[in-house]
Amino acid sequence: MKYISTRGESKELGFEEALLRGLAPDGGLYVPSEWPSIDFTKLKSQFYWESAAEILQPFFGDFLDKKELNILTKKAYKSFNTENMTPLIQLDDNKYLLELFHGPTLAFKDFAMLLLAELFDLSLKKRNKNITIIGATSGDTGSAAIEAFKNSKNVNVFIFFPKDRVSEIQKKQMTTTGGDRVFPIEINGTFDDCQNIVKALFNDSSFNNEVSLGAINSINWGRIAAQIVYYFTSFKLLENGPISYSVPTGNFGDILAGWVAKKIGLPINNLLIATNENDILARTLKSGIYSIDKAKATMSPSMDIQISSNFERLLFEAYGRDSSKIKSLMSSLKDNNEFTIDDYALDFIKKDFHAKSISEEDTTSCISDVYKKTGYVLDPHTAVGYAASNSLPSEGSIITLGTAHPAKFPTAVKKSLGTVPEMPDRLKKAMNGDERFSEMNIDLEKIKDFIRSSIV
């Protein structure tokens, strides 16, 4: 499989190159040059990791053969502590919850990050090369990355997180792993400052060459691909009439994976973009205008995002893969903070997607209603998805993706239920571990020196 950029001005690459690069040099995102097709009725795998190898084969095939891929996925997912990695729980007549939080950091980001770490490891060993991964986080991405890469000998990981803006649990998950090559850095600033540091380091080409930077945020195609798998496996578990998915959405990565699953052969009915009060995507589907607002802080912080980077990949398809259109939309976004989607492209999007924004109040009442009815405790992100699922047409089953374990967000749960959820052992261990992290100001030169001198 070859990969091309959504902006059409970068050279076509194989999977391994696209993986290591992350973002295309023209600023666009990598997508497969053509879509494979998978007959889901023929999938026979028993374990999740086997399904992963089967479904990802056409995407990774120029890098790994089937046997190598099986070894890789088995290794990647060995740290899940349940045999059934993705339990499907029925909460109402036609409503199901797909629990994606049984990995080491208790959020769905483990699925993609663990696989990415193995892919990077394999490629770097083969090339006898080391890289320096840098990333900004508001919580879940950082802990998943640190956990996944902590044993990779060819990778040093530097994660920037904003002082006082990540929860105590999220911070402990990043700072207590004990890995020698992972460096959590508390920045005296906001999440945006952290993200700006990452961008500035990437744009500094002499520094980039010196330490070989790598990207692990969800613009990396490898992460999207990994997330296609659980749509297939959960769909196969039900298979009783039409099935729709409600997906708590921020950067549009997880739900884009659902669209790809549909595109390559899974007959998904509707895909519901569930957002918190940061409702840019819900507004866009209604008006056709993608217009950036200020990001609000909500009780589902991993979705407090205004620029949904992966939406560009869907726009590329909606415009019939016309990269000149994408270039002009993105330059309008840069200059005017907004763009308008043409009717035909908006119709394309609305054929597969619905969108619903859920207020803070409705998130709280969803957590308490579901608890009263079923005894099940939802985390605030999953609650946004579950609450939104009421807005879908009622035919068929609806699977809401359960993106995080409720114990990661005790404050929001306490607000809704009056009590905090029980902490899984893995989290208790992180809470009691010794913390190791650095504190830094927004000073690029000092940060570069720190990275240079820390690399092992």
Catalytic residue among 11, 66, 95, 109: 109
Question: CA-CA distances (angstroms) from residue 430 to 13, 100, 162, 440?
Answer: 40, 20, 19, 23
Q: Which stretch binds ligand PLP (CB under 6 A): 87-95, 171-179, 248-256, 435-443?
A: 248-256
- Using N-to-C axis directions, what is the helix angle for 360-374 and 380-388, rounded to 10°? 90
Is residue 218 close enough to count as binding ligand PLP by CB under 6 A?
yes
- Using N-to-C axis directions, what is the helix angle for 66-76 and 109-127, rounded to 10°? 130
Is residue 303 close enough to count as binding ligand PLP by CB under 6 A?
yes
Closest approach, Cβ 142 to ligand PLP, in A, equals 10
Please, which residues have CB within 8 angstroms of residue 208's CB and are 6 or more apart in sequence? 201, 202
Is residue 254 close enough to count as binding ligand PLP by CB under 6 A?
yes
Q: Which stretch binds ligand PLP (CB under 6 A): 175-183, 244-252, 283-291, 323-331?
A: 244-252
Q: What residues from 322 to 351 belong to the interface with ligand PLP (CB under 6 A)?
A: none
61: left (phi over 0), alpha (psi -120 to 50) or beta: alpha
- Applying CB under 6 A, among 4, 31, 72, 107 the residue interacting with ligand PLP is 107
Is residue 165 close enough to count as binding ligand PLP by CB under 6 A?
no
Is residue 366 close enough to count as binding ligand PLP by CB under 6 A?
no
- Closer CB to ligand PLP, 261 or 404, in the complex: 404
Is residue 404 close enough to count as binding ligand PLP by CB under 6 A?
yes
Is residue 276 close enough to count as binding ligand PLP by CB under 6 A?
no
Helix/strand/coil for 5: strand
**Residue entry with tokens 């969108």:** 355
Is residue 137 close enough to count as binding ligand PLP by CB under 6 A?
no
Q: Which stretch binds ligand PLP (CB under 6 A): 83-91, 160-168, 251-259, 355-363?
A: 251-259
Separation CA 281–CA 314 (nearest Å): 12
Sign of CA dihedral 241, 57, 75, 158: negative
Element containing residue 411 per DSSP (H, E): helix 410-417
Is residue 403 close enough to count as binding ligand PLP by CB under 6 A?
yes
Mark whether 126 is an active-site residue.
Answer: no
Separation CA 168–CA 158 (nearest Å): 19
Separation CA 27–CA 197 (nearest Å): 17
Size of the site for ligand PLP (CB under 6 A): 16
- Applying CB under 6 A, among 118, 121, 140, 186 the residue interacting with ligand PLP is 140
Is residue 249 close enough to count as binding ligand PLP by CB under 6 A?
yes
Is residue 28 close enough to count as binding ligand PLP by CB under 6 A?
no
Q: Which of 317, 237, 356 is nearest to 29 (CA)?
A: 317
Is residue 405 close enough to count as binding ligand PLP by CB under 6 A?
no
Question: CA-CA distances (angstroms) from residue 448 to 86, 204, 210, 440, 451?
Answer: 40, 10, 11, 11, 5
CA 376 to chain centre: 24
Closest approach, Cβ 364 to ligand PLP, in A, equals 17
- Applying CB under 6 A, among 234, 302, 397, 416 the residue interacting with ligand PLP is 302
Q: Which residues are catalytic?
A: 109
What are the residues binding ligand PLP (CB under 6 A)?
107, 109, 140, 218, 248-254, 302-303, 381, 403-404
